[in-house]
Chains A and B, each alone.
Chain A
């Protein structure tokens, strides 16, 4: 699994039906952090903070 899919899994873990798109460089081509990635919250979805997403990523 990639860093982007890890982010997606963390978001889904926080909110199973979250409507979002997450986008960033593949980790094998660029060292990145959550702040390097873009998250689109679709259809009026309430944004989840990157701090909360990072906390969930650390748990998974």
Chain B
């Protein structure tokens, strides 16, 4: 039995309703997606939350030694300008070649946005042995979702200090390279 065929390019006007398996739309918008706007209505709209708007990355071969308990820059720093105040910034930082260099101490690290501490002591007791032995522990990293509520340029950076005075800690030892990645996420 032969099926009849219909040429839909001719003789049909209007739109096919959602309830009949259509979209109910006469046209779409470039770059947008179809989405339900009601139980039987479809419209076009922007992609949903979680969209990655920009990704920035840096790598540094900076080596840093800190001899006392004052937080000091370690060269892991990256700036980003969010496109919206509602955006979140996903921070991924990898501090490599971290360890204790001299005497009885340990490494502490923190994350700053400009001059604001956003993660205090994301590493603590790093490399601690309780004695004066050198102890290189390798990688210390952190991941954090920040809500800066800003469209100004923001600089994220890692700082390190020695848990004790007169004792040194190190980041970037033995040629280790550290990285930071920033992602602006729409919500």
Binding site for B on A (CB under 8 A): 2-5, 7-8, 11-12, 16-26, 28-30, 40, 42-43
Contacts and interface: CB of A to CB of B under 8 A. Distances in A.
Contacts, number: 80
A21 B66 CA distance: 4
A17 B165 contact: yes
A8 B65 contact: yes
Interface of B: 61-68, 70, 72-75, 101-102, 165-166, 168, 170, 172-177
A21 B72 contact: yes
Contacts of A21: 64-67, 70, 72-73
Nearest to B66: A21
**Listed residue (B61, B65, B72, B102) with the most chain A CB atoms within 10 angstroms of its CB:** B65
A23 B32 CA distance: 48
A11 B67 contact: yes
A29 to B, nearest CB: 4
